[in-house]
Amino acid sequence: MRILIAGVDGYLGWPLAQHLAMRGHLVGGIDNQLRRRLVAEVGSVSAIPIATMDERLSAFHEHFGARLRYYSVDLLDYDALANALRDFQPEAVVHLAEIPSAPYSMRGPTESVFTQQNNVLGSLNLLWAMKEESPNAHLLKLGTMGEYGTPNVDIPEGFFEVEFRGRRDVLPFPRQAGSFYHWSKVHDSNNIMFACRIWGLSATDVMQGIVYGIWNSTQSSDSRLSNRFDFDSEFGTIINRFCCQAIIEHPLSVYGHGGQRRSFLPIQDSINCMTLALEHPPKKGEYRVLNQFDRFMSIYELAELVRRSALHLGIDVQISSHANPRNEVENHYYNPDRNLLKDLGYQPQYDPDELTQSMMESLIPWKDRIEAHRNVLIPNVQWDGSHRTASKLNTKGNTA
Amino acid sequence: MRILIAGVDGYLGWPLAQHLAMRGHLVGGIDNQLRRRLVAEVGSVSAIPIATMDERLSAFHEHFGARLRYYSVDLLDYDALANALRDFQPEAVVHLAEIPSAPYSMRGPTESVFTQQNNVLGSLNLLWAMKEESPNAHLLKLGTMGEYGTPNVDIPEGFFEVEFRGRRDVLPFPRQAGSFYHWSKVHDSNNIMFACRIWGLSATDVMQGIVYGIWNSTQSSDSRLSNRFDFDSEFGTIINRFCCQAIIEHPLSVYGHGGQRRSFLPIQDSINCMTLALEHPPKKGEYRVLNQFDRFMSIYELAELVRRSALHLGIDVQISSHANPRNEVENHYYNPDRNLLKDLGYQPQYDPDELTQSMMESLIPWKDRIEAHRNVLIPNVQWDGSHRTASKLNTKGNTA
C-alpha cells in the first residue's frame, strides 16, 4: 500500500515508517521538523540522540531497500501539501503532524493559538487536499483519549445511542477535553466527521491513550534509525518522564495525589494498532472512531510501577506530590470501551513492569544527558496561565 | 454598564451599539471592516447603503451624546486586542466579530481555513485577552442554532442529562453542524466552555436562529445610522434574500424542496435578547447556553410567507426549487428548547407576515441596487467544493 505519513520525523511517525516498510508498504513522509524546534525552545533534548532528517533518510534507504519519499512541507501551506499528495498518490494518509503538548498549549496566548492553528487548520487543509487529490485514500488521524475527558458514564468509541425525552438517536459522544491542545483534537474530530459525511472521505480517528516506551528498530545497530525520546514536562509523556526521573534519582513528580485515571499503551502497541487500522481500512465514506489503549491506571499507580521497576535496578526513588498545575478532577469514574481494535485482532502483550525496567536499562547510557536537563522535569506552566514551578505538597495536600 | 462590542460595524453590532447607548450603557466597539471587504469580494453590496465607519461614529456622537470609543483591531492580533480591553475596561464583551457565512466556508480551502482561522483563533485570542485584562467581564458570544444540526431528539440548551448503561451524567449536547462555518462556532463553544471552567470566566453562548429584517434606528432620519442589509447568497440570510428576490420579481430560490426546518427571529428580537442577556449576566465562572429564536419553520413555509407578503404589495412572485447545494437532510425532526430567554422575560412580539411586508416596503427604494446585483442571488458554491450555479429542479425533483 502507498502510505504517506504526515509527521514522519516524530516519536510515532519515524518508527511507523520503518514498521510499514518492513511489512512491504511503500512509505512517504511529510514533516517540517517543528517538534525538534519546540523541544529545543523549552530547553530540552531527546534523551536518546537522533539523527538529522537527511541521515535518517539515508539510513532508511540502506536498511529497507526502498527510498522513503520525503516532503518538507508545513500542513499550513495548502499548495505544498496538495502537491505532495498529487505527487505521492497515497492510498492511506497517516496524520501525526500535530503539536502534542497540553502544557505548551496552556503556556500563554501565543502557544495556545499556535497549537490550535497548527493542528486544526493543518488538519482542515489536509481534508481539503485529500478531497481534491486523493479522495479514495484512507485518512488515519491521531486523536487522543483526552478528547473525552472523564465523564461519569462509560466512554464508547465516538458515538452512543441515547434516549432523550422519549426519543432515540445515535449521536457523537460529548467531548470534555482538558487543555486547548486536547480541544484542538476535538475540533479536528468534528471537522473530519463532517468531511466524511459531505465528501465521502474515509477516516479512522484514533482516540489514543498516553504512549510510552522506547522503540527499538529492527535495525537497531544503526543509531541513525533511533527514535526520539522526550522527557521534559511539555513534550515527554508521563511514564517516559518518570523513567528518566528514576534514572537520575529525581523524585517521581505526581500532580496532586495522582488519583487521575488515564489510558496507556506501549509504543510497540501504538505502531501495531495503527498498522492494523491501515491494513483494515473503513469502507468508503465511513468515519470510524477507535479507542486505542492497552490498559488504564491512575497516575499514582504509574508512579508505583516505575518505582518498583527502578528498585529492580537498584535505584530507590521517591514519589513526590506537586500542586496540580492542571485544573482537573482527581477522583472520578473512568471506563472506556476498546472494542474495534479487539475486533481487528489487537491483543495487548506487554507487561508494564518488564517494559519500564527495560526502558530504564536502555536509558542508563544517556543518564548524563538527562541529568544536564533536570530543570525541564518539573512543570512550570500552570493551567491558570501563570508560569511558576509546581510546588511540592505535604502529606496533607497543602503546598510545602 | 461598559460594554465593548467586537464586530460593531456589522449587521447586529451596529444596531446593538445604538440600542445599548439608548439604554444608557457606555459602548465601545472593535472592528476591522472585514465584512465590508468580503461582501465586495463576492460582488455584492448592502441593499441599503451604509456610511463609512468615520461617518457612523460622527452620527453616533451627535445622536447619542456619548462617543462610541472605536478600536480598529483584528481579533487575530492579540496585542492590539489586549490593549483595547485594557483601555476600555469592559464589564461585558459582546463577540459578533466572526465570518458568518456557511457557503463562504465551503467555497474552497482558502475560504474554509480563513473562516476557522478568523473565528476560532480570534475567539481564542479574546478568551486569553479577557482572562488577562478583564477576567470579571461577561462574555456574550454569538453562536448559532446551526451548531446542533438536526438530531432526532429535542434540542436542549447546551447540556442534557443522559443515562448510558445505567449511569447518569449531565453532558454537553452533541453538536452536528452543517458547514465548516457552523463547525467554527462549535469549536468556539468548546473553547469558551473550557475557559469558563479553568479560568472562572463568565459567558453566555447564544445559539441564535437565523436573523432577518431591517433594523430602523430610533434616529432613522439620519442615514449615517442605517444598518447594512445583505442579500447575496453568501452573506444574506434567507428571509432577507427572499424579500430582495421578491422586490425584483425574481423567483424565490428554495434549496431542494424546502422541508428543512430552521429557527428564525427578527433582528429587533435579536437585539432585545442580547440586551436581556447583558443586563442579566450569568454568575462568575458560569458558562450559560441560550437558544435564541422566535419560531421555527420549514424553508418552504418561509418562501410561502414571503410570497404571501409580496402579493399584498401587488407583486406575484414564484417559488422555484433548486438542486440543494448543501449536503443536508430535508425531512427531519426538529424541536429546540427556548427556556432561558423566556425566564429572562423575552416574549416574541412580531408577526412575520407584517414584518416581511414592511421589509419589502422599505426595500422598494433600493430596487435598482438589488436588480444591478441579481447575479449574486443564486448560490454558486456547492458543498462538494465545486463552483456552479445551483440548477432548477422540476416538479419530480430532477434538475431541469
CB nearest B124 (choices: A113, A172, A199): A113
Residues B48-61: tens digit of each pLDDT: 999 999 999 999 99
Residue B329 contacts A where some CB pair is shorter than 8 Å? no
User: What average pLDDT does range A31-56 have in this prediction?
Assistant: 97
Q: Which of B128, B180, B194 is closest, CB to CB, to A177?
A: B194
pLDDT, mean over chain B:
95
Backbone angles phi, psi at B356, to 5 degrees: -65, -35
Q: Is A395 a catalytic residue?
A: no
CB atoms closer than 10 angstroms to residue A270: 25
Nearest residue, CB atoms, A125 vs list B113, B121, B172 = B113
Q: What is the pLDDT of residue B398?
A: 61
Q: Is residue B89 a contact partner of residue B26, using CB atoms and an 8 Å limit? A: no
What are the structural domain ranges in chain A?
2-230+264-295
A285 interfaces chain B, CB cutoff of 8 Å: no
Check CB contact under 8 Å for A124 and B131: no
> Domain A2-230+264-295, what fold?
Rossmann fold (3.40.50)
Q: Are strands A167-172 and A261-266 parallel, antiparallel or unpaired?
A: unpaired
Is A163 in Cβ contact with B151 (below 8 Å)?
A: no
Q: Does B280 touch chain A (CB under 8 A)?
A: no
Question: What secondary structure letter does DSSP report for A136?
Answer: T
Using the Cβ of A78 and the Cβ atoms of chain B, whether some distance falls under 8 Å is answered with yes
CB atoms within 10 A of CB B166: 7
Q: CA A118 from chain center: how many Å?
A: 15
> For chain B, what is the radius of gyration of the CA atoms?
20
Residue type, A170: V
Indicate the residue of B117, B124, B385 with minimum beta-carbon distance to A112.
B124
Residue from the list A124, A132, A383 with its beta carbon closest to the beta carbon of B113:
A124
Q: What's the mean pLDDT in B31-35? A: 98
pLDDT for residue B221: 84
Residue B218 catalytic? no
Residue A378: the pLDDT is 87
The pLDDT tens digits for B183-223 are 999 999 999 999 999 999 999 999 999 999 999 877 778 99
Q: How far apart are the first and last CA of chain B?
A: 57
Alpha-carbon separation of residue A238 from A89, A305, A378 (angstroms):
37, 12, 11
Which of A164, A329, A381 should one mutate to test binding to chain B, selecting the residue with the greatest count of B CBs within 10 A?
Answer: A164
Q: Which pairing describes strands B252-255 and B210-212: parallel, antiparallel, or unpaired?
A: unpaired
From the number of C-beta atoms within 10 Å of its C-beta (0-12, 13-18, 19+), residue A91 rates as: middle
Give the pLDDT band of residue A388 (cuts 50, 70, 90). confident
Cell, residue B61: 456622537
pLDDT of residue A395: 60
C-alpha cell at A256: 496532586
**Cα gap B373→B46, rounded to integer Å:** 10
Contact yes or no for A164 and B153 at CB 8 A: yes
Scan for cell 496561565, then name that residue: A385
Based on C-alpha coordinates, what's the Rg of chain A?
20
Q: Which chain A residues are closer than 8 Å to B382 by Cβ?
A: none
Separation of CA A236 from chain center? 10
pLDDT above 70: residue B400: no
Per-residue pLDDT at B394 exceeds 80: no
Among A104, A185, A212, A300, the one annotated catalytic: A185
Structure confidence at residue B244 (pLDDT) = 97
For residue A283, indicate whether it is catalytic: no
Residue A397 has pLDDT above 60, yes or no: no
- Catalytic, out of B70, B104, B148, B181: B181
B108 touches chain A (CB under 8 A): yes
Q: Which residues in chain A are contacts of B172 at CB distance < 8 A?
A: 174-176
Q: State the pLDDT confidence band at B399, using cuts at 50, 70 and 90.
A: low
- Can you tell me the distance from the alpha carbon of B248 to that of B232, in angstroms, rounded to the nearest whole number? 14
Q: Are A260 and A302 in contact (CB under 8 A)?
A: no
The C-alpha cell that represents B220 in the structure block: 432613522
pLDDT of residue B218: 74
Inter-chain touch A174–B177, beta carbons under 8 Å: no
Q: How far is A69 from chain B (nearest CA, A)?
A: 25
The pLDDT of residue A394: 72
Q: Which of residues 198-217 of B touch A (CB under 8 A)?
A: 198-199
Active-site residue, selected from the candidate residues A70, A71, A148, A181: A181
B37 touches chain A (CB under 8 A): no
Cα A107 from Cα A382, distance rounded (Å) = 7
Secondary structure percentages of chain B, helix, strand, coil, to 5 = 40, 20, 40
Average pLDDT over residues A233-256: 95
Cell of A388: 511558576
| Nearest alpha carbon to residue B72 among B125, B34, B40, B32 | B32
Which range is least confidently modeled, A58-67, A205-214, A287-296, A386-395?
A386-395
Per-residue pLDDT of A56-68, as tens digits, reads 999 999 999 889 9
Which residue from A221, A244, A384 is spatially nearest to A315, judged by alpha carbons? Answer: A244
**Tell me, what amino acid is at A14?**
W
H or E segment to which residue A357 belongs: helix A352-363
Greatest distance between any 2 Cα atoms in chain A:
63
| Facing residue for B128 by CB, picked from A112, A156, A177 | A112
A399/A325 Cα distance (integer angstroms): 12
Residues in A touching B153 (Cβ below 8 Å): 162-165, 167-169, 171
Q: How confident is the model at residue B386 (pLDDT cuts 50, 70, 90)?
A: confident
Block residue for cell numbers 472494542: A339
Residues in chain B with CB shorter than 8 Å from the CB of A384 are 198-199
C-alpha cell read off for B98: 466572526
Pairwise CA distance, residues B257 & B185, whole Å? 27
Instruction: Give per-residue pLDDT as tens, B326-344.
Output: 989 999 999 999 999 999 9
Q: At A396, is the pLDDT very low, low, confident or very high (cuts 50, 70, 90)?
A: low
Q: What residues in A contact B177, CB-CB < 8 Å?
A: 190, 194
Which of B91, B128, B100 has its CA nearest to residue B9?
Answer: B100
Nearest-angstrom CA–CA distance, B119 and B127: 12
Chain B residues close to A171, C-beta within 8 Å: 151, 153, 174, 176
A398 falls in which pLDDT band (50, 70, 90)? low
Q: What mean pLDDT is predicted for residues B343-364? A: 95
Residues A190, B177: C-beta atoms closer than 8 Å:
yes
Contact A206, A292 (CB under 8 A): yes
Contact criterion met (CB < 8 Å) for B199 and A151: no
Catalytic residue of the set A115, A144, A204, A275:
A144
Average of per-residue pLDDT across A297-323: 96
Residue pair A325/A383 in contact by the 8 Å Cβ criterion: yes
Q: How far apart are CA A379 and CA A364, in angstroms?
A: 23
Inter-chain touch A168–B180, beta carbons under 8 Å = no
Q: Is B361 helix (H, G, I), strand (E, B) or coil?
A: helix
| A-proximal residues of B, 351-370, CB under 8 Å | none
B182 torsion bin: left (phi>0), alpha (psi -120 to 50), beta (else) = alpha
Contact B169 A151 (CB under 8 A): yes
Q: What is the pTM of this model?
A: 0.97
Q: Distance (Å) from the C-alpha of residue B394 to the closest C-alpha of chain A?
A: 24
Residues of B in contact with A146 (CB under 8 A): none
Inter-chain contacts counted by CB atoms under 8 A, chains A and B = 146
For B151, which of A128, A169, A198 is closest by C-beta distance?
Answer: A169
